[in-house]
């Protein structure tokens, strides 16, 4: 549970260094305790955005003296935090305590004098450090920005003592680190400087898994160009009957305006932004976007505009993730499980998306008795006037202050919840019913898509419209098989041979999915999978009371 607290606190500085207090490495225990201290989404985002505005990204030579580097930069202002990481070379993220530090640093930074190469003299906060010192320095300590591989993860989980511990351990390995989140905000802030050439008051905000609490190291960076500070401002009338208005070019629709803004910003990123490569303008998509790789950070970026609802759903997921300590490990575990078995993919297609899967987990947790998560309607009833939000005619209001949401009484273990999740969706009436987190109840399906998950804020839309019948069938089968496998492995516990995969580790083995399939095929010939699971579970439940009643894991 302490890891949960870490995420919602902005105070964690694992691995990164605070110059003011020399090296500061906080432990899990000195974090905020109560949900009273859990920050609202807006507060946290605003803090991180402001922090990013005071930061620079510097490409460094392979061997530099950390001490000299800091001394050099400190001439421009106090340094709050810094860290190094590797991405085709060494980079440093340096956060000054004041914005003046950046201004002073930029003042002292020269434009490259490479004569054989023409350059666009566009000044950004992505800098290169040149050092003419000997290479005798020990390498700086670089923080990992990518997760460990599945094989290593399986080994690690196999050594844990319970399935609950495995799930927390998985989350600990995969979740975004504080530094990685800082880097994500910094990339948004660097891009904002580019977009500000056209729209000086714009903000580029990260959304999706970078901020919703469910992001895995290495996930894409979804960004939203927010122009509301420009267009949404209400100027007080002078009261003399006169008022002035900006003349503006009109477009045929809001969509056309979004497309032309993104076309221009995309072009600017392509032509002038250092480190941005492979820019693609995908302007005819339902949600127009500019996609590119930000090489210094290694992030795959999707820049959208006019995408307020997606921002709201990221905030909702953040809230759900912060309400109960079991939500995030469960989602991380299931996202990982879905990925290793090919239910989700980084390539768009007829697969389930991480977003859809997360909504399915939330729905399942709303259906527990007693419920673990409140319904969206309940969250709307708890809202106060400041929470009110209507986007394009859709009511997106819900309470945002954790303190206003009553605690739930459910004490189930993660092991039990995962087991029940697999059984729930292994037997769900997908052909008739739609998943609806607003009501917390399945509803009759309004259309024929194989999988129907109502978009929480745009009720007419199906979040999983892309999923085809084959992929749904794979999901159902895998849930059934995993329910069975978990029942076996879970009952057995950690094996005396410490490295033998068991519990979640066994569920994540790619070879195991094959093993289950073979096992499953033999049985499938006799009876439908759901029946098979029920019978198996019944027999296992019966035998659980008797000592030595459960079989070994596959």
- Footprint of Mg ion on this chain (CB under 5 A)? 208-209, 220, 222
Q: What whole-number distance in Å separates Cα of residue 451 and Cα of residue 132?
A: 61
Nearest to Mg ion of 286, 409 (CB atom)? 286
Q: Which tokens hold the place of 213?
A: 């609490």
Q: What whole-number distance in Å separates Cα of residue 338 and Cα of residue 291?
A: 25
Number of residues engaging ligand CTP in binding (CB under 6 A)? 15
Nearest to ligand CTP of 96, 207 (CB atom)? 207
288 sits near ligand CTP (criterion: CB under 6 A): no
Nearest to Mg ion of 209, 482 (CB atom)? 209
b/e sequence 372-400, b meaning 16+ C-beta within 10 Å: bbbbbebbbebbeeebebeeeebebbbbb
383 binds, among ligand CTP, Mg ion, none (CB under 5 to 8 A by kind): none
The correct pick among 177, 258, 313, 333 for binding ligand CTP (CB under 6 A) is 313
Q: How far is the CB of 153 from ligand CTP (least distance, A)?
A: 17
Nearest to ligand CTP of 208, 266 (CB atom)? 208
Quick note: the x/- pattern for ligand CTP over 199-228, rule CB under 6 A, is --------xxx--x--x---xx-x------
Helix (H) or strand (E) holding 67: helix 66-74
Q: How far is the CB of 109 from ligand CTP (least distance, A)?
A: 34
Q: How far is the CB of 217 from ligand CTP (least distance, A)?
A: 10
Helix (H) or strand (E) holding 48: helix 41-53
Nearest to Mg ion of 209, 306 (CB atom)? 209
Maximum CA pair distance of the chain? 88
Rg (C-alpha) for the chain, rounded Å, is 26
Quick note: the x/- pattern for ligand CTP over 445-464, rule CB under 6 A, is ------------------x-
Q: Report residue 216: phi and psi, to 5°.
A: -105, 145
355 sits near ligand CTP (criterion: CB under 6 A): yes
Nearest to ligand CTP of 31, 222 (CB atom)? 222
Helix (H) or strand (E) holding 484: helix 469-492
Angle of CA points 363, 365, 371, to nearest 5°: 115
| DSSP reduced 3-state for 107 | helix
487 sits near ligand CTP (criterion: CB under 6 A): no
463 binds, among ligand CTP, Mg ion, none (CB under 5 to 8 A by kind): ligand CTP
Helix (H) or strand (E) holding 379: helix 376-381
b/e sequence 212-245, b meaning 16+ C-beta within 10 Å: bbbbbeebebbbbbbbeeeeeeeeeeeeeeeeee
- Region binding ligand CTP by CB under 6 A among candidate stretches 113-121, 145-153, 351-359, 512-520: 351-359
310 sits near ligand CTP (criterion: CB under 6 A): yes
Concatenating the DSSP letter of every residue in 205-256 gives EEEGGGTSS-PBTT--EEEEEE-HHHHS--PPP-SSS----------SSHHH
Q: Which tokens hold the place of 107?
A: 């003042």
355 binds, among Mg ion, ligand CTP, none (CB under 5 to 8 A by kind): ligand CTP
293 sits near ligand CTP (criterion: CB under 6 A): no
- Helical axes 414-426 vs 163-174, angle rounded to 10°: 90
Nearest to Mg ion of 297, 513 (CB atom)? 297
Q: How far is the CB of 117 from ligand CTP (least distance, A)?
A: 36
Q: How far is the CB of 363 from ligand CTP (least distance, A)?
A: 15
Binding site for ligand CTP (CB under 6 A): 207-209, 212, 215, 219-220, 222, 310, 313-314, 353-355, 463
């Amino acid at each position: 549970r302490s890891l949960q607290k870490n995420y919602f606190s902005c105070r964690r500085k694992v691995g990164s260094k605070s110059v003011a207090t020399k090296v500061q490495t906080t432990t899990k225990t000195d974090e905020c305790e109560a949900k009273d201290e859990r920050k609202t989404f807006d507060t946290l985002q605003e803090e991180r955005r402001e922090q990013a505005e005071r930061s620079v990204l510097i490409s460094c030579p392979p061997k530099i003296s950390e001490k000299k580097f800091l001394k050099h930069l400190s001439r421009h202002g106090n340094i709050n935090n810094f860290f190094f990481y590797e991405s085709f070379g060494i980079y440093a993220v340096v956060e000054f305590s004041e914005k003046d530090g950046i201004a002073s640093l930029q003042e002292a930074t020269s434009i490259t004098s490479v004569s054989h190469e023409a350059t666009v003299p566009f000044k950004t906060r992505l800098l290169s450090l040149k050092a003419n010192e000997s290479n005798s320095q020990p390498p700086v300590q670089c923080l990992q920005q990518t997760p460990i591989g599945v094989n290593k993860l399986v080994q690690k989980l196999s050594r844990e003592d319970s399935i609950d511990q495995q799930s927390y351990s998985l989350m600990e390995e995969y979740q975004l680190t504080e530094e990685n989140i800082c880097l994500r905000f910094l990339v948004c802030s660097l891009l904002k400087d580019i977009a500000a050439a056209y729209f000086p008051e714009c903000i580029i905000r990260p959304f999706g898994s970078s901020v919703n609490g469910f992001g895995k190291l290495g996930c894409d960076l979804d960004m939203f160009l927010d122009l509301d500070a420009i267009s949404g401002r209400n100027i007080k009338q002078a009261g003399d009957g006169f008022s002035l208005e900006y003349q503006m070019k009109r477009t045929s629709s809001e969509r056309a305006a979004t497309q032309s803004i993104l076309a221009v910003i995309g072009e600017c990123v392509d032509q002038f932004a250092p480190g941005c490569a492979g820019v693609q303008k995908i302007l005819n998509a339902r949600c127009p976007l500019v996609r590119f790789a930000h090489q210094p950070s290694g992030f795959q970026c999707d820049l959208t505009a006019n995408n307020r609802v997606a921002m709201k759903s990221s905030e909702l997921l953040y809230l759900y993730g912060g309400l109960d300590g079991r939500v995030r490990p469960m989602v991380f575990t299931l996202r990982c499980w879905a990925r290793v078995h090919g239910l989700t993919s980084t390539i768009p297609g007829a697969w389930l998306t991480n977003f859809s899967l997360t909504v399915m987990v939330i729905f399942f947790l709303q259906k527990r008795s007693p419920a673990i998560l409140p319904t969206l309607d309940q969250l709307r009833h708890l809202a106060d006037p400041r929470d009110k939000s209507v986007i394009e005619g859709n009511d997106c209001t819900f309470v945002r202050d954790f303190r206003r949401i009553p605690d739930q009484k459910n004490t189930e273990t993660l092991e039990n919840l995962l087991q029940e999740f697999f059984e729930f969706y292994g037997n769900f009436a997908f052909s008739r019913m739609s998943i609806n987190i607003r009501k917390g109840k399945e509803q009759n399906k309004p259309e024929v898509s194989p999988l129907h998950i109502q978009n929480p804020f745009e009720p007419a839309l199906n979040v999983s419209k892309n999923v085809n019948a084959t992929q749904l069938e794979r999901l159902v089968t895998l849930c059934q098989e995993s329910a069975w496998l978990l029942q076996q492995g879970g009952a057995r516990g950690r094996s005396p041979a410490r490295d033998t995969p068991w519990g979640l580790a066994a569920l994540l083995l790619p070879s195991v999915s094959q093993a289950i399939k073979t096992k499953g095929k033999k049985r499938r010939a006799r009876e439908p999978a759901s029946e098979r699971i029920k019978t198996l579970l019944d027999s296992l439940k019966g035998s659980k009371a008797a000592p030595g009643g459960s079989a070994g894991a596959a």
